[in-house]
Amino acid sequence: FRHEGMTTMTSFLKFVALISAFTTTNGERPIFFRNKAFSAAFNAAPLTLSWGRDYDHNRAIKTRPNRGISTSASSLASSSSFRSPPLGRQICTYKTVTIRPSGMNAGDAPRQAVSVEDLTPEIKSFLSQSGMKQGVIHVISRHTTTAITINERESRLARDIEEFFLKICPPDERSSTPKKVSGVRYLHNDIDQRPDGEEEAERCRENGWNIDDADELQKWRDQEPINAHSHLISMMLGSSECIPVVDGEMVIGQWQSVLLVDLDGPRTRSVGLQMMGFG
């Protein structure tokens, strides 16, 4: 827009008002004109609309935009670095990866420990097998007490992660972890009052527990961990990540890794990987 004594935004609003004036069909004044502040701005100065003089219809790019209009779009469209690479065959494939924690020995029972596992080698291997060159990788945890995040894989940082989040969400005083805190209790950990309602009872049945039988109900309660804090930390960290793939490589930083954070382990876990893109 060319304008005299007006801001670019005012010019834009006048242009919208003009369009509105021509398209109103109910006999009322367009809504812009019913606003006193807008009417004053509209009448403040004359408006001249003009597009660039040279227009290449084949490229659909304004080659000589007027002053006041950003040239960034034109610059990007004509820049060689903005061109997309040629795309090959379409790829959409999924894999479930089993993760055995590095600190877990055969036969170990979960002890509500926090551990960090590096998923990056598994993802790179799957990416290589898929043949995908351009696209995106979706990584999702398949558990309610684990999380997926992107950060540095470093052993002392892993201990910092545990200490930091356990200060925010300390374990219940009834839990089995040595880091439990006296006086801390969560409703989720009132196992003797669960399932709470028919909807939750049905969810237990769908997962193979015949809780209508008193003995089976007690078995279900006995195996339920006191782990509300693990659920809450998982919600804070998030359960999935999306990583771009360019020229067959994940677009992550030099020190970045895709991490699985187990908040109620160590135990064997599973992660879903999906590749979507082009080979």
User: Across residues 198-206, what is the average pLDDT?
Assistant: 95
Q: Examine the pLDDT at 277 and tell me if it is beyond 60.
A: yes
Greatest CA separation found in the chain?
85
Burial of 197 from C-beta contacts in 10 A (0-12 / 13-18 / 19+): exposed
Confidence band, pLDDT 50/70/90 cuts, at residue 266:
confident
**Averaged pLDDT of the chain:** 80
User: Across residues 238-244, what is the average pLDDT?
Assistant: 97
pLDDT value at position 111? 80
Q: Examine the pLDDT at 55 and tell me if it is beyond 70.
A: no
Confidence band, pLDDT 50/70/90 cuts, at residue 85:
low
Distance CA(126)–CA(148), nearest Å, equals 17
pLDDT value at position 71? 41
Q: Examine the pLDDT at 3 and tell me if it is beyond 90.
A: no
Phi, psi dihedral angles at 71 (to 5 degrees):
-95, 5
For the chain, how many residues are written? 279
Contact 259, 152 (CB under 8 A): no
Distance CA(145)–CA(3), nearest Å, equals 59
Q: Examine the pLDDT at 19 and tell me if it is beyond 80.
A: no
116-159 tens-digit pLDDT = 999 999 999 999 999 999 999 999 999 999 999 999 999 999 99
Which has more confidence, 130 or 68?
130
Confidence band, pLDDT 50/70/90 cuts, at residue 102:
confident
What type of residue is 215?
A: D
User: Across residues 253-279, what is the average pLDDT?
Assistant: 95
Q: Which of 22-36, 66-80, 152-166 is the least confident region?
A: 66-80
User: Across residues 19-23, what is the average pLDDT?
Assistant: 48
38-48 tens-digit pLDDT = 455 545 544 44
Rg (C-alpha) for the chain, rounded Å, is 30
pLDDT value at position 164? 97
Which has more confidence, 62 or 120?
120
pLDDT value at position 235? 97
Bin 104: left if φ > 0, else alpha if -120 < ψ < 50, else beta.
beta
Which has more confidence, 268 or 66?
268
pLDDT value at position 237? 97
pLDDT value at position 137? 98
pLDDT value at position 110? 75
pLDDT value at position 86? 76
Confidence band, pLDDT 50/70/90 cuts, at residue 87:
confident
Which has more confidence, 236 or 17?
236
Contact 107, 272 (CB under 8 A): no
